[in-house]
Amino acid sequence: MSDKPVVRLEKDGDIGVIIVNYPPVNALGPGVADGIIACLNQANGDPAIKAMVLMGDGRSFIAGADIRGFGTGRKRAPLGERTYDVMDRSPKPIVAAIHGFALGGGLENAMGCHYRIAVPSAKVGLPEVLIGILPGGGGTQRLPRLAGPQVALEMIVSGRHVPAPEALKLGIIDELVPAGADMRETAVKKARAVANIRPLPRVRDRAAHADPGIFDAMRKSIARRARNQKAPYNCILAVEAACTLPFEDGMKREQDLFLELENADEAKALRYAFFAEREVAKLPDMPASMKAADFSKPAVIGAGTMGGGIAMSFADFGYDVRIMDATEEGLTRGMDRIRNNYATSVKRGSLAQDEMDRRLARIHPVAGYDDIADCDVVVEAVFERMDVKKPVFEQLDRVMNPDAFLFSNSSALDLDDLASVTKRPEKIAGTHFFSPANVMKLLEVVRPPRAAPDTLATAMALGRRIGKISAIAGNTDGFVANRSRAPFNSEMVILLEEGCLPEQVDKVMIDFGYPMGPFAVGDLAGLDIGAEGRKRRLAANPNYRTLPIADKLVEMGRFGQKTGAGWYRYDKSDRTPHPDPFVADLIAQVATQMGVRQKTFTDEEILRRLLFSSINEACKIMEEGKAYRASDIDVMWLHGFGFPRYRGGLMFWADGIGVRDVYNQIASWHQQYGERWAPSALLRQLAESGTSFRDAKPAPFV
């Protein structure tokens, strides 16, 4: 932090300009609110100042509250003594000049001002629900008065960021700063123009009227995605208060609803997830001087489902990308699939036709390797077999510029073995996208032992530049995400052998908070993919635990949605999973042949059998030095497997149960079920020392 005050008052003629200077994004950190109040009082006490401007230095107006302060018992200014209250009492007009972000407390401060102007690139919003709370500085009371209750409900319950041009249409801001105009100069001019207008247009003085039915309608509309969560419903109650109570009473109601949430498990988990996503970008054992290389010419090898999705990811973020395939027919099919995917988004209303046309025009199908020779980054996305991938890397090594980075979209294979067929192993790493690649946020960057620091930095940056969350994983079978998930995938099928049905397991996981059950997800991804991995592991380890039920389905050609049948049955042109009596009969037959005793399971047993198996494997991964932090594993589960965000992540959730209890249960299952439940040495160590998973110290990364 510089020696400058976090908030300062400057005079521009007869206008007082209050400037927030709390880098990097002007969050409402220590001293900021007090500084704003002091400057407001100083300006109001100066007869030479006729009006004020509130603005931010640097990148943003005010990006929101400092999240680190929530749940810490910090002292909050009482109602009547906050910045918004001082603004309400101001006898002189205040203009909020918004650039960058005005989020959460930033927008609440802007709404406390009498006028709001913004540059076209600015964004506003009240995203507190995303960290398990609600806007606690009058946001739920002022936004309904400014933009209407329906708009306020949608914005506050979703937490979305609204671009300034849309905010203008909604009435949240009053004017857009003309392109090329100086922000401060425009704001000062605006303040001077309104200096003598009375009465001052306070947002609190407006009325907020709504049809009472909109609140129940919103509750119904969020019932599925907000299940098990309280914050979205408290947000609705707070907006409802704005429409039914006087302003001061509504503020008190907002305060009470906020306090219900701040220290709840939901908010703690969501705050943890927020910080884990920032921590995952840090590579503690890499040189401080490590920098990502710049790249502008990406290419994708393989036009299948994954390759097409990766190409779309580049195009969606403004990159011209070349895509090639082994055959002309495959390339044509791939481009048709990309076109259809975009068209589906247009049909759903999530993408405009002109934007589809722009993105599609950035994807350039090419005939062969010579057509990508000048590219600086290549992502290989061919079939998941080493005998298919190695020839591709041999060819890439021959034709690509020596400085080009060669990345593989492998989900499990040995990247060091793959790099060995090239003369540039230091330029090779894994970039494991999750399906569908243009939708899923996780990019697992796999670190082979010979990868250079700049290769890893570039792979991590690649993900961030195309809207992904990049996380480093060690070069181990399945890497971190899929390896930690593998016991879950096995255990869910073993549960069938013991008496469960796919729909029972799926219901438990959906009730826990997953968007889909694991058997439905398996059908979506393709059961043949998992079967291929089991074959590879069985070849490497004759004692590998086979899954006869899953294997029999694949032998019958039941691969999932793409064949119309897998764990479930699918009607033509319908992706709804229907329980299939054939599968129930098959499960019973195989269980009889295996001599497995059938029993019934509680929902809690099913949940713990699945998740505890993966917690144990995650501990093994950390003790082998294949992950930096338990929180990295949580990020991978949040963004790779749909783990419910309001539960924080796999390891955070386990900490809520307690390391000792997790260990005792796993040790008990080890006695009952055998070697697959052998407790990790790290898990045992954590249980004996009373150390949480979050505080575990993994072995040095290898």
Which sequence positions are flagged as catalytic?
108, 128
DSSP code at position 76: P
DSSP code at position 62: B
> What are the C-alpha distances in Å from 653 to residues 50, 426, 485, 643, 658?
55, 37, 15, 10, 9
Per the CB < 8 A criterion, the answer to whether 662 and 676 are in contact is no
Determine whether 415 is exposed, middle or buried from the number of CB atoms within 10 Å of its CB (0-12, 13-18, 19+). buried
Per the CB < 8 A criterion, the answer to whether 133 and 104 are in contact is no
Per the CB < 8 A criterion, the answer to whether 324 and 367 are in contact is yes
Per the CB < 8 A criterion, the answer to whether 552 and 591 are in contact is no
Residue spans of beta strands (DSSP E) within 76-168 = 94-98, 101-103, 115-118, 123-125, 162-163
Per the CB < 8 A criterion, the answer to whether 687 and 660 are in contact is yes
**Side chain identity at residue 576, one-letter code:** T
Per the CB < 8 A criterion, the answer to whether 617 and 487 are in contact is yes
Collect all residues with Cβ–Cβ distance below 8 Å to 318 and sequence separation of at least 6.
Answer: 362
The per-residue DSSP string of 561-599 comes to GGGTBSSEE--TT----EE-HHHHHHHHHHHHHHTPPP-
Q: Please list the residues that pair with 521 across neighbouring strands.
A: none
Residue with tokens 């401080």: 288
Per the CB < 8 A criterion, the answer to whether 473 and 633 are in contact is no
d(CA 543, CA 446): 27
d(CA 360, CA 339): 7
State the DSSP H helix or E strand holding residue 298, giving kind and residue range, or none if neither: strand 298-301
> What are the C-alpha distances in Å from 136 to residues 20, 114, 130, 142, 210?
20, 20, 14, 11, 21
> What are the C-alpha distances in Å from 672 to residues 654, 657, 667?
21, 21, 9
Collect all residues with Cβ–Cβ distance below 8 Å to 606 and sequence separation of at least 6.
Answer: 495, 500, 504, 505, 508
d(CA 134, CA 240): 13
Q: Please list the residues that pair with 125 across neighbouring strands.
A: 103
d(CA 493, CA 502): 8
Residue with tokens 């499960």: 587
151: nearest Cα among 201, 205, 208: 208
DSSP code at position 647: G
Residue with tokens 């129940």: 216
Residue spans of beta strands (DSSP E) within 422-502 = 428-433, 442-447, 469-474
d(CA 433, CA 298): 15
Query: CA 413: distance to chain centroid?
Result: 26
d(CA 163, CA 166): 6
Query: Reduced to 3 states, what is the DSSP secondary structure of residue 547?
Result: coil
Residue spans of beta strands (DSSP E) within 49-133 = 51-56, 64-65, 94-98, 101-103, 115-118, 123-125
d(CA 658, CA 655): 5
- Pairing assessment for the beta strands 428-433 and 405-408 based on DSSP bridges: parallel
Query: Crossing angle of helices 659-673/603-623, nearest 10°?
Result: 100
